[in-house]
Amino acid sequence: MTRTLIVSSSLDELEKASLWLIRYLPKSLSESKKNNIVLVVQEMVTNAIIHGNKSIKSKEVFLSLKIIENTSITFTIEDEGLGLSSLPSKEEAKKMDYLQEGGRGLKLAVLLSDDIQIKENKVILVFTI
């Protein structure tokens, strides 16, 4: 099953994206796993809005959710920005200061997802079920 959603680059759209995600997450997931997925996706959508699209409301963020039954959930976030150059390593992410601004969302994504990739202006997150 694949689902898509397009939101404008406004933080007001974050709730819409979160509710959309929750609606399609498998009911069989533990609350802890659901919460981790929602947290990571919220952080990545926030990054796409603020850093990728510079909060320009006419720019859009494209979300895609693909569920392979009883196997994995792949979530793709694409913005209209220039993209990311690199990700922190798991070791760098473990040493992070959660109160410090800058890079918190990416570090959480690295720690809480089972796989994360950057392809230009797309972030692809994979969570095993």
For domain 2-128, the CATH class is: alpha beta
Over range 40-65, report the average pLDDT: 96
Give pLDDT tens digits for 65-119: 999 988 999 999 999 999 877 777 777 777 776 666 666 788 889 999 999 999 9
Q: Quote the mean pLDDT of the chain.
A: 91
Give pLDDT tens digits for 5-17: 999 999 999 999 9
DSSP characters over the chain: -EEEEEEES-GGGHHHHHHHHHHHS-TTS-HHHHHHHHHHHHHHHHHIIIIISTT-TTSEEEEEEEEETTTEEEEEEE-SS---S----HHHHHT--TTSSSSHHHHHHHHHSSEEEEETTEEEEEEE-
| pTM for the predicted model, two decimal places | 0.89
What does residue 128 show for φ and ψ, rounded to 5 degrees?
A: -80, 150
Phi-psi region of 102 (alpha: psi -120 to 50; beta: other; left: phi over 0): left
Over range 35-39, report the average pLDDT: 96
Q: Which of 24-28, 49-53, 54-58, 94-98 has the lowest mean pLDDT?
A: 94-98
